[in-house]
Structures are given as structure tokens and as C-alpha cells.
Structure 1
Amino acid sequence: MGYGEDDIALVSFQSVSKGYCGECGKRGGYMEVTGFSADVREQIYKVASVNLCSNISGQILTSLVMNPPKVGDESYESYMAEKNKILSSLARRAKMLEDAFNSLEGITCNKAEGALYVFPRLHLPEKAIEAAKALKKAPDAFYVSRLLQATGIVVLPGSGFGQVPGTWHFRCSILPQEEKIPAVVSRLAAFHEAFMAEFRD
């Protein structure tokens, strides 16, 4: 297929470690390059080829993701059943966490769309922001540090991912086993209520 001057140059990446096939236990990925001249594609492939290759299981998984069972294949029905079961569970987990965060004072959480994380926004009392500054910490880093110390729950501060100045977030994985999410939510809610009470203006 040839590419004209008006075509859009696009590089698409896919990671098998962030999906229903590998979740976070396997590593592998691939990219598709379209809209570039043959000379440019050759240089991109050269650069990509000098990297170390992923392990054998990662390569096998990447091949399976790129070429899943098709209608009529012996394993198609079991593949689709397992895929749908995993995706449904991930959607339920994301919804449970989203609802839990949105029920807490001072937290808003958008719907997870295509990732294995939710990014709740913290609306912290001024006293909490001042306490964080006194410790030379970003307010979201202060919050997640206190959460870890009190509950053992690990989330990452949004300040490590880039956010609008003056806003605070944290990243929370939706990967804990589905049956364990209610206990995580319960511990997190108890911590958050105590945190807000401590720093309420």
C-alpha cells in the first residue's frame, strides 16, 4: 500500500501487559507504523530492532494477542468466554472503586475508560495542604503516604504523572481480586473519613 503526502503519519502502540490477556503479569507489546515513507519506516524499525527482545512468554503472548482464535477455531468459544469473563470483572471492579470514591467527601472520580486504573481527584482541606507543605511534600503525596501508613494500601500520587497545577489526584489500580475490593474500599473509606476530620477547616 502506498502513502501520499496527505496521509496522516501515525504510530500505534499496544501493550499486552495492560489488557485482558496479560494484565500486569506478562510483558510484551507491538507497534504499527502507517503514513510514513519507506525510508522513515526503515529507520524506525532499525531503532526498534536494537532494543532487547522481550522474554519468550512475552513474545508468545504478543503473537496470541495479535492473532486470537477466530470463529470456527476449536478454541474460539472458550477464548471468548474467558475474555468476556475477565473484561466483565474488570468493568465491575472499576465501577466499584469509582462509586466508592465518589461517595467520599472531597473526592471525585471519573469513569475508567480503557485503563487498569482510576484517577480520583482529591479536594483537600487547606490544613492538609499546609501540613504537606510543612513536610516539603506535594499534598497528594502527603495523602497517599498517610494512606499507606494507616492501611497498607498502595496508590500513587498524581503529581508523579503531571496534573493541572493546584489540583491533586492519585492513581489506584483496579487489579485487586474482585472479591477483595469491598475490604479495600472499607479500609480506604475509614482512613479518608479520619483524614478529613483531622484536617477539616
Structure 2
Amino acid sequence: MTPSSDSLLEVSNLIARRGAFEVLKALDLAVGRGTLHAVVGPNGAGKSTLVLAILGMIPFEGRVRFHFERGGRIGYVPQRLAVDRTIPLTVEDFLATSRQRLPVCLATLPTTKARIALALAKVGLSHSEKKPLASLSGGELQRVLLAHALEPLPELLVLDEPSAGLDESSGSDLDDILVEAKQNGVTTLLVSHDSEQVARLADTITQLGPSP
């Protein structure tokens, strides 16, 4: 694949395995700067594997190149997050861990509190700072993960099935959040099984596995 100045992310000849099985075979992909690129395909086609390879979380063959221009922050929303219900962690504690050097067990700084409140308001979770993380519904937890990914604003946003567990109203809110992120210059890689969401939002699409 020839590098393009218009691409923020380029994947070339990527091969990823699960055991001896090749989940992804010589995959090429380019994500245009400032665009929303969707990855679709049936279960088992390798969508989540692709995300993990791009983020460097699993071994792979081939090349993944980023062409960042403003710091290179990547925001990531995983498909699910396992929460240890024995740990008394609040939403504010969780979000503060990546926003200040001072350990959250000592204190959350006023500036950090303000940023967290703003981030939660953007995802429709105002006044949720003191809720135990373990008490959240699946949809609420997805919103918290989205707030974590979007503050501070990333250059690349990677989402793995972010609408999973969301009701129709929350799904509409997610669309609005992604549109606003794009307007603010965020490049997005979206893994989704929701064909209607993809049709509404995607500028470009990569199909993994057989077409439906």
C-alpha cells in the first residue's frame, strides 16, 4: 500500500492468528484523516482482533502506521470492561486515574473534577461522579468508557461495538457524539454490527469475512 498524506492510519499486509488459525490474512486498510471508517462483518471475522492488533495489544505480522499531527492520543472504547465488584471504585475515581498524577486514593484535584463533570455531561451522565463503577448498567458503563476516550480529545478514536448494551435513545446519543467528534477533527475507527448506524455515519467501510 502506498502511503497517503490524507491517511491517519494505514494497515499493510496484516496477519493475525488465534492459535494456529489465521483470523486476518494479508489485510490492507487505510483510514482517512478526519473521517469515520467502519469495520463490519459476521461474528468471528476478526473485527475485534483487528482492533487489538492496531492498538498493539496482540502480536501480528505486517505493518501498522500512524500519521499523527497533534500529539497522537488514541481514545479506545472496548466492547466490554470487566469490573471487579469488590473494589469500591467510583466513576470519578476511574476517570481521574488518567487525568492527574496525584493518586486518586489521596485526592481528586478540582481541575480534574471539572474536566470529569464536563466529560460525563457530554455523554449524558451528569451528576454520576460518585456512583460506584460496579453499580452501572451495561449502557451506563459504555458511556463512561466513551467519556474516558474522548477527554482529552483524541486524534484517533477506536470503538469496538460501542452500541452494544445501549437502548435506542442512547444509540442516538452515541451517533450525535461521534458526529461532534468528527466535526472537532477526530478520526474514528468504528467496529459495528449495526448496519443502520454504519449507513448513517461511515465515510468508508471495510468488510471482513463474507458479505451478508
TM bin (shorter chain): under 0.3
Taking structure 2 as the reference length, the TM-score comes to 0.21
Between Structure 1 and Structure 2, which shows a larger proportion of strand residues?
2
Query: Which has more radius of gyration?
Result: 1
Larger RCO (CA under 8 A, 6+ residues apart):
2
Between Structure 1 and Structure 2, which shows a larger proportion of helix residues?
1
Taking structure 1 as the reference length, the TM-score comes to 0.21
